[in-house]
Structure 1
């Protein structure tokens, strides 16, 4: 589908009687929206659509996402203006389907991980929780202010080993910078250091989706405050 003139891959279910979730997926440099099958997983997409929900995966246009003059979000692939496309897609879903506005989530890998981190701040008025794969923030680009200071979204930061998960910059360090900053703003954060390189770790997608499901908007009490589910990889820790 097209929103604000931008192509978005959509997996959508039929309108249901029970409110359903929305997940927004941001892909990596030189990748495509179909990457959501790895980062989110087919099983999660099937669950979301069977419940009447939607997965939106915007398509970057060879680094030209900033046609409206807005700056890059630390990756030269995604731009601040691309969040407007997500806003429009979400508005369409809310209008056409029975969407649970407490269950709007985002995740992405590499460049998409930086976009996801940026979205956690810039759209904290509606984003409940996020998963970043090898993405975060840097001192050079900084972070936008929280759109809603009362809702720093819950974060699951997934990355490889420092010195190994590298794509121009060290993504383990970028993840840590994001986690430390948003935790200081009141977010709940778990860190998942796979010890590997620059990739989405094998088998992590079901845990990412579980994290998102368990962290709706302003959830209280925090479900993982004392421990992370045993189904998660042993390398995931509460930060």
Structure 2
């Protein structure tokens, strides 16, 4: 079983359905069309500086001296490597608004790739929108660490540390990175605390849901393509429960969520004949789960399977974020939903 899990990325299937790479490429094409500038929507590093930091200062050891942490000072557009968090070197891409040094404070959007994908590829989903007029923002696209999952006497990589989660995310790699990057953004350019958002695809969306579970008080609104809350008992059967255990969802901040899924074919057979992960079922379960806990929810079944579709575009996601800052109680979409989302359910 362990070998089967290791060989089955969440973004692909044996029947030729869309992979994570293809999903992000497809959505990136839509971004280019939406922004009117194809070059901005590409995931190329052309013209962007890359920092290969050798500073081993742990970003969690910040003080209140008013001085910028050396790691924060070293951040640059493009790939940032060697960013130390709790003794672990991390990588992530930064895409910055053109006037980042003059403006601010800035909204921040985290974007987590699917299993088997890369940050370099997935970055293009939203990078062309950082200068959008509705909400210019800083985009953070983390790279995974091939996080190992142990089960059935074997260990295998599953990209993100999003399975066994302690209360408040204690000791979690992705939560620690989230915290450290936000601290650096605030030190370096100024953080707009009313606009911290997270999104992703597949296992990256599940990572967003995990971040929402333990850092939900900080999140203004979130959007997930084919994700799932593993704090929702309806999503965790006996088999998944062997490797996944989250704390209860006890977030007081009722952040709005855009739940996007691909309908009946939004599935991945992780263990042939034994376990199929059904992202559509996750979304349906999470719709009622979140509503029951007081969260405004927009649920979109695009019907195209396990992919990030053009029908719920990156531009739409950023519009959702712009209109739903921290503490939103009356969603503008309740009275005036976007015409292009006429296939979605608005529980706002």
Category of TM-score, reference length = shorter chain? 0.7 to 0.9
- Tell whether 2:277 aligns with 1:166: no
User: Structure 2 length normalisation: TM-score?
Assistant: 0.59
Give the equivalent residue in structure 2 for 1:23.
109
Give the equivalent residue in structure 2 for 1:88.
180
| CA deviations over 1:113-154 (Å, ceiling 9, x no partner) | 11111111211121111110011122244653346x320321
| CA deviations over 1:153-192 (Å, ceiling 9, x no partner) | 2100111012x01123111111222222122111000001
User: In structure 2, what is the Cα distance between the partners aligned to 1:214 and 1:195?
Assistant: 26
Indicate the SS of the match to 1:224.
Answer: helix
Give the equivalent residue in structure 1 for 2:21.
none
Matches within 5 A, 1:1-239: 1=80, 2-4=83-85, 5-13=89-97, 14-34=100-120, 35-38=122-125, 41-47=126-132, 51=136, 53-64=137-148, 76-80=158-162, 81=172, 82-137=174-229, 138-139=235-236, 140=241, 141=244, 143-146=246-249, 149-162=251-264, 164-168=265-269, 169-203=277-311, 204-230=313-339, 232-239=340-347
State the superposition RMSD in angstroms. Answer: 2.3
| CA deviations over 1:28-83 (Å, ceiling 9, x no partner) | 01101131322xx34323338x94x31111111223499xxxxxxxx933114111
Give the equivalent residue in structure 2 for 1:70.
none
* 1:65–1:78 Cα contact (<8 Å) kept: no
Give the equivalent residue in structure 1 for 2:71.
none
Alpha carbons of structure 1 residues 90 and 237: separation in structure 2 relative to 1, 3 Å: same
Alpha carbons of structure 1 residues 18 and 221: separation in structure 2 relative to 1, 3 Å: same
* Farther-moved stretch of structure 1 (25-34 vs 219-228): 219-228
Gapped runs of 5+ residues in structure 1?
Answer: 67-74
* 1:30–1:62 Cα contact (<8 Å) kept: no
Give the equivalent residue in structure 1 for 2:42.
none
* 1:65–1:77 Cα contact (<8 Å) kept: no
Larger radius of gyration: 2
Paired residues, what number? 224
- CA positional deviation for 1:27: 0.4
